[in-house]
């Protein structure tokens, strides 16, 4: 990786930001700022990209051609979002070919949830309602608070498209939850996917290591605040369709309370949480994340296959 020259010290960046000025590139940044920005962008780019093979796996379960086409159009958006984030990394001097095609599957930085394959239409639409909502919450926060101007500009388009994705999921859930059989399948998907999305937002604030993301105002809300924002949309939505979720609003504090052990052990093959086993430590969760989930190899290799064939054909 060739790092582009940064010009400022951390103190100079902080006073630039305190004056309300944006960062347009490394010339307005310090090394620490650029490193924190790269880490944030890699997570975002990987998440967008891995959603493509994940959603593609579920697309054949679409009930009709028009729904199938809607999922394909969502996938096209996600690849576009990934391209935007990798392009910004390239502008920061990162070798993005190496990043996309050279890493091992376990080195990808997307949330663990995407390593668990979506295998039915119910799981596909709950992914749109939950995962795309999580993406929307995270990126809206970046859009509102980031000091990195190129990202802020790019997110105008991304946010609109994420709204389309999550509405696609919500519309389908609203429609299918009127039918008892279809509703039972949605509830089964919600039972494993709700808690997995809670995990998506990462360690609780009291355990989170300092990453520079908040210091340099690359994002605004903390992990716990983002988790609350996600629940404040998702819990009332599910309740309005009589779908049970393990969380409720505490009217006294105005915050959402998780009603199950959290974090918890997860059997990714069976897609089941170990409610009987109760709460585990975040160290144990991070070990599961590090080992990655059942579809990790397959999805990353799927993304890398064409490039590997091209390189192989040229040699
Ligand atoms: Fe996206
Ligand atoms: Fe999306």
In the DSSP assignment, the letter for residue 5 is P
Average pLDDT, the chain: 95
Residue 178: helix, strand or coil by DSSP? coil
Q: What is the pLDDT of residues 63-103, one digit of tens each?
A: 999 999 999 999 999 999 999 999 999 999 999 999 999 99
Q: Scan for tokens 């939505």, then name that residue.
A: 237
- Cβ-proximal residues to 169 (8 Å cutoff; 6+ apart), any chain: 125, 126, 127, 128, 129, 130, 132, 133
Find the 161 Cα to ligand 1 centroid distance in Å: 7
Q: Delineate the domains of the chain, giving CATH numbers in brackets.
A: 10-314 (1.20.1260.10)
pLDDT band at 313 (very low <50, low <70, confident <90, very high): confident
CB 284 within 8 A of CB 266: no
pLDDT score of 104 more than 70: yes
- The percentage of the chain sitting over the pLDDT mark of 90, rounded to a whole number, equals 90
Find the 114 Cα to ligand 2 centroid distance in Å: 12
CB 129 within 8 A of CB 35: no
* Among the bound ligands, the one closest to the CA of 169: 2
pLDDT band at 37 (very low <50, low <70, confident <90, very high): very high
Find the 109 Cα to ligand 2 centroid distance in Å: 17
pLDDT score of 118 more than 90: yes
* Per-residue pLDDT, 306: 86
Find the 74 Cα to ligand 2 centroid distance in Å: 7
Residue 32: Cβ-neighbour burial (10 angstroms; 0-12, 13-18, 19+): middle
Find the 50 Cα to ligand 1 centroid distance in Å: 10
312/50: higher pLDDT: 50
Q: What is the pLDDT of residues 270-299, one digit of tens each?
A: 999 999 999 999 999 999 999 999 999 999
pLDDT band at 3 (very low <50, low <70, confident <90, very high): low
* Per-residue pLDDT, 312: 81
Find the 78 Cα to ligand 2 centroid distance in Å: 6
Q: How far apart are CA 251 and CA 227, in angstroms?
A: 17
């Amino acid at each position: 990786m060739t790092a582009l020259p940064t010009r400022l010290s951390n103190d100079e960046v902080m006073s630039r930001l305190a004056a309300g000025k944006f960062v347009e590139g490394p010339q307005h940044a310090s090394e620490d700022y650029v490193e924190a920005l790269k880490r944030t962008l890699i997570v975002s780019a990987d998440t967008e990209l891995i959603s493509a093979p994940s959603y593609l796996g579920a697309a054949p379960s679409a009930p009709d051609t028009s729904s199938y086409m809607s999922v394909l159009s969502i996938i096209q958006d996600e690849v576009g979002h990934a391209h935007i984030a990798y392009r910004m990394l390239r502008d920061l001097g990162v070798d993005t070919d190496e990043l996309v095609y050279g890493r091992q599957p376990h080195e990808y930085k997307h949330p663990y949830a995407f390593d668990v394959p979506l295998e039915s239409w119910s799981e596909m639409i709950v992914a749109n309602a939950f995962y795309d909502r999580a993406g929307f919450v995270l990126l809206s926060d970046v859009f509102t608070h980031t000091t990195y101007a190129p990202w802020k500009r790019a997110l105008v388009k991304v946010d609109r498209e994420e709204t389309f994705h999550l509405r696609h999921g919500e519309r389908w859930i609203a429609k299918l939850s009127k039918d008892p059989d279809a509703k039972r399948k949605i509830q089964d998907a919600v039972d494993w996917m709700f808690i997995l999305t809670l995990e998506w937002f990462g360690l609780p604030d009291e355990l989170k290591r300092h990453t520079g993301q908040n210091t340099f105002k690359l994002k605004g809300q903390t992990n716990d605040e983002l988790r609350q924002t996600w629940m404040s949309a998702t819990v009332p939505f599910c309740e309005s369709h009589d779908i049970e979720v393990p969380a409720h609003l505490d009217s006294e504090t105005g915050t959402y309370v998780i009603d199950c052990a959290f974090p918890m052990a997860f059997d990714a093959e069976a897609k089941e949480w170990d409610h009987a086993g109760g709460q585990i430590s975040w160290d144990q969760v991070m070990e599961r994340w590090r080992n990655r989930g059942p579809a990790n190899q397959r999805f990353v290799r799927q993304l890398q296959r064409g490039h590997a064939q091209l390189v192989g054909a040229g040699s």
